[in-house]
Structure 1
Amino acid sequence: MRLDKFLKVSRIIKRRAIAKKIADQGRIMINDKVAKSSSDVRVGDVLTIEFGNKTEKVQVNQLVETTKKDEAAGMYEILEESYAEDFGKE
């Protein structure tokens, strides 16, 4: 399954166009390699996604073409979440 489609179907990112834009900016990695929106995602892959000041690492558990909102969370497992430090705070 394409990376941008997985991110949309799993509801990690709400719109496929946004998922494509983020991937094409080099802010998503699959198994520690920079990924493009057309990269293939397989079960067991680890995705690292940079959102603004938050970085999320998730593992792909299953791939389905369509899903309901309450079933989407089963497609992945969050391994790690980290937030960038606020350098301007004192």
Structure 2
Amino acid sequence: MRLDKFLKVSRLIKRRTLAKEVSDQGRITVNGTVAKASSTVKEGDELAIRFGQKRITAKVEKLQDSSKKEDAAGMFTIIKEEKLSEE
């Protein structure tokens, strides 16, 4: 599944266009490698997403083409959430 679609369906990022913009800016890594919106995501992959002054690391648990709001949280597990220092 494409990275931008996974981020939207899992509701880590609300809109697919926003997910594409964030990944094109180099703010998302998959298993430690900077990822583009078209990168393929598999179960077990580790995503690190930088939102402003916060970085979220999540593990992909399952892939679905669509999901209800209640089911979306089961698509990933938050491993850690850290605040980045201002430089």
| Fraction of identical pairs, as percent | 53
Of the two, which has the highest radius of gyration? 1
> In structure 1, how many angstroms separate the alpha carbons of the residues matched to 2:85 and 2:35?
25
Residue equivalent to 1:84: 84
Map 1:34-73 to 2 at 5 A: 34-73=34-73
Secondary structure of 1:66's counterpart equals coil
Secondary structure of 2:74's counterpart equals helix
Unmatched segments (≥5 aa) in structure 1: none
Could you tell me the TM-score, scaled by structure 2's length? 0.97
Could you tell me the TM-score, scaled by structure 1's length? 0.94
Residue equivalent to 1:74: 74
Q: Residues 8-35 of structure 1: CA distance to partner in whole angstroms, max 9, x if unpaired? A: 0000000000000000000000000000
What is the RMSD of the two structures over their aligned residues, measured on CA atoms? 0.9
